[in-house]
């Protein structure tokens, strides 16, 4: 059952016991909300056990609407004492948790959950400041490969572009300089990374990048808005990549393209000391899998894009190596990986010191190979894109 009032709408999902309120609710008087309230009443009457009121995508609500809804929810608790009500908010709509927490104080059966405070298993690592050095050195190494690849996948100047899961925003700065998009949105859920991104563009004087705090699995961006959408190294760290792809598809214009990059960590390699290096990167893949992240995703890109409804899929692979420019840059990437993967993630998994020592050794051997005058160190990446059918 779904009803719409202005740009706001309500729907009730019987199976999930969930009332979904979205858009903008700004009635002049409570009567304007009647269509919405039909759905609310239906939800209250049908719900058993826990009744979820999902306001994650409710962008605006005025006092009239809030008071009317609050009264109905309170009435539900009073008339059905066994019912638990959980209001589900998101930090993306900044005022939401604060406003709805007022309801929690009104009845003991009402609670509030900020959905995205811990919404995917890798979040604590990738949204942390310690991830910033990893991202900074990575993009420095990958850009020289990706710039021509992006052009081959259809990126030309003047397009409306979105970089979803933009991290520290350095890729967006490069896009801005080299491809001069007509619009450039860069969205991420890491407040630390976005703060860093905004600081950098202010310092270097780059303007026109719309850095946006958001959840890529539930974006507030409009349908069919962008000609070219990028999402790099991120489907592999979110536990529901198909949900992210659905959103990337939604915001892409028909005829536009979505471009993704992912790794296959067990294929990182080096000489000399190849066996130790190989062992460590096979363990990296297992470590990420423990936290529900798939850093072996790279070659699966074609299948993922096809399953999400894209056509005209293109895929290419490139190898970042110690011979691309300064070998120290490569070593810096590995050092940043060692710090987070061995220093934080393995510790969090509860690995014993002996394992962690061996795990670290493979990264150190990879750095040794990168800096050795006749050594070779490689990091393979899969870049794929698909067209949203016309």
Ligand X SMILES: C[S@@+](CC[C@H](N)C(=O)[O-])C[C@H]1O[C@@H](n2cnc3c(N)ncnc32)[C@H](O)[C@@H]1O
Tell me how far, at minimum, the Cβ of 114 lies from ligand X, in Å. 14
How many residues touch ligand X under the rule CB under 6 A: the total is: 21
Residue 126 or 209: the one with the smaller Cβ distance to ligand X is 126
Of 54, 91, 96, 139, the one binding ligand X by CB under 6 A: 139
Applying the rule CB under 6 A, the residues between 181 and 220 that interact with ligand X are 188-190, 193, 215-217
Residue 17 or 190: the one with the smaller Cβ distance to ligand X is 190
CA-based nearest residue to 185, from 237, 248, 117: 248
Tell me how far, at minimum, the Cβ of 340 lies from ligand X, in Å. 10
Residue 44 or 165: the one with the smaller Cβ distance to ligand X is 165
Residue 233 or 361: the one with the smaller Cβ distance to ligand X is 233
Tell me how far, at minimum, the Cβ of 167 lies from ligand X, in Å. 3
Q: Are 297 and 241 in contact (CB under 8 A)?
A: yes
Tell me how far, at minimum, the Cβ of 108 lies from ligand X, in Å. 32
Tell me how far, at minimum, the Cβ of 199 lies from ligand X, in Å. 16
* Residues in contact with 360: Cβ distance below 8 Å, sequence separation at least 6, in sequence order: 338, 342
Applying the rule CB under 6 A, the residues between 153 and 172 that interact with ligand X are 165-167, 171
Tell me how far, at minimum, the Cβ of 210 lies from ligand X, in Å. 15
Residue 90 sits in the site that holds ligand X (CB under 6 A): no
Q: How many CB atoms lie within 10 A of CB 154?
A: 17
Tell me how far, at minimum, the Cβ of 226 lies from ligand X, in Å. 16
Angle at 298 (CA atoms; ends 225, 239), nearest 5 degrees: 70
Residue 145 or 232: the one with the smaller Cβ distance to ligand X is 232
Tell me how far, at minimum, the Cβ of 292 lies from ligand X, in Å. 12
Residue 111 or 218: the one with the smaller Cβ distance to ligand X is 218
Applying the rule CB under 6 A, the residues between 324 and 383 that interact with ligand X are none
Q: Which residue's Cβ has the minimum distance to ligand X?
A: 167
Applying the rule CB under 6 A, the residues between 101 and 130 that interact with ligand X are 126-127
Residue 135 sits in the site that holds ligand X (CB under 6 A): yes
| Interface stretch with ligand X, choices 42-50, 131-139, 203-211, 341-349 (CB under 6 A) | 131-139
Tell me how far, at minimum, the Cβ of 23 lies from ligand X, in Å. 20
Cα–Cα distance between 222 and 199 in angstroms, integer?
27
In the chain, what is the straight-line distance between the N-terminal and C-terminal CA atoms, in Å? 30
Residue 22 or 193: the one with the smaller Cβ distance to ligand X is 193
Tell me how far, at minimum, the Cβ of 213 lies from ligand X, in Å. 9
Residue 188 or 227: the one with the smaller Cβ distance to ligand X is 188
Residue 215 or 283: the one with the smaller Cβ distance to ligand X is 215
Q: Are 387 and 312 in contact (CB under 8 A)?
A: yes
Applying the rule CB under 6 A, the residues between 232 and 251 that interact with ligand X are 232-234, 237-238
Residue 189 or 388: the one with the smaller Cβ distance to ligand X is 189
Which residues of the shown chain bind ligand X in the complex (CB under 6 A)? 126-127, 135, 138-139, 165-167, 171, 188-190, 193, 215-217, 232-234, 237-238
């Amino acid at each position: 059952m779904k009803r719409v009032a202005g740009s706001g709408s309500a729907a009730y999902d019987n199976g999930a016991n969930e009332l979904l309120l979205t858009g903008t609710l700004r009635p002049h008087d409570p009567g304007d909300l009647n269509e919405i309230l039909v759905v609310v009443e239906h939800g209250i009457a049908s719900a058993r056990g826990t009744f979820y009121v999902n306001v994650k995508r409710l962008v605006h609500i005025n006092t009239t609407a809030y008071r009317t809804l609050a009264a109905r929810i309170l009435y539900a608790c009073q008339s059905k004492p066994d019912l638990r009500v959980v209001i589900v908010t998101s930090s993306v709509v900044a005022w939401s948790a604060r406003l709805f927490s007022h309801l929690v104080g009104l009845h003991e059966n009402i609670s509030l959950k900020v959905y995205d405070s811990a919404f995917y298993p890798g979040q604590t690592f990738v949204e942390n400041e310690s991830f910033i050095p990893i991202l900074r050195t990575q993009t420095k190494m990958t850009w020289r490969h990706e710039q021509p690849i992006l052009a081959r996948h259809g990126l030309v100047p003047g397009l409306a572009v979105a970089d979803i899961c933009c991290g520290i925003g350095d890729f967006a700065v490069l896009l801005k300089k080299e491809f001069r998009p007509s619009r450039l949105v860069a969205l991420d859920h890491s407040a630390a990374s976005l703060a860093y991104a905004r600081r950098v563009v202010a310092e270097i004087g780059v303007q026109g990048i719309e850095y946006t705090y958001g959840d890529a699995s539930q974006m507030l961006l409009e349908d069919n808005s962008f000609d070219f959408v990028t999402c790099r190294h991120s489907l592999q760290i979110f536990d529901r990549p198909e949900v992210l792809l659905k959103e990337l598809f939604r915001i892409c214009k028909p005829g536009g393209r979505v471009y993704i990059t992912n790794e296959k960590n067990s294929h990182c390699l080096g000489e000399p000391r190849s066996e130790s290096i190989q062992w460590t990167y096979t363990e990296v893949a297992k470590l990420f899998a423990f936290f529900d992240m798939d850093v072996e995703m790279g070659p699966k890109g074609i299948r993922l894009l096809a399953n999400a409804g894209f056509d005209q899929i293109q895929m290419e692979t490139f190898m970042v190596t110690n011979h691309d420019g300064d070998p120290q840059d490569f070593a810096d990437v590995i050092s940043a990986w060692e710090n987070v993967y061995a220093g934080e993630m393995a510790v969090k998994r509860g690995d014993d010191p002996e394992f962690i020592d061996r795990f670290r050794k493979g990264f150190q051997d990879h750095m040794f190979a990168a800096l050795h005058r006749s050594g070779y160190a490689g990091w393979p990446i899969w870049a794929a894109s698909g067209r949203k059918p016309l």
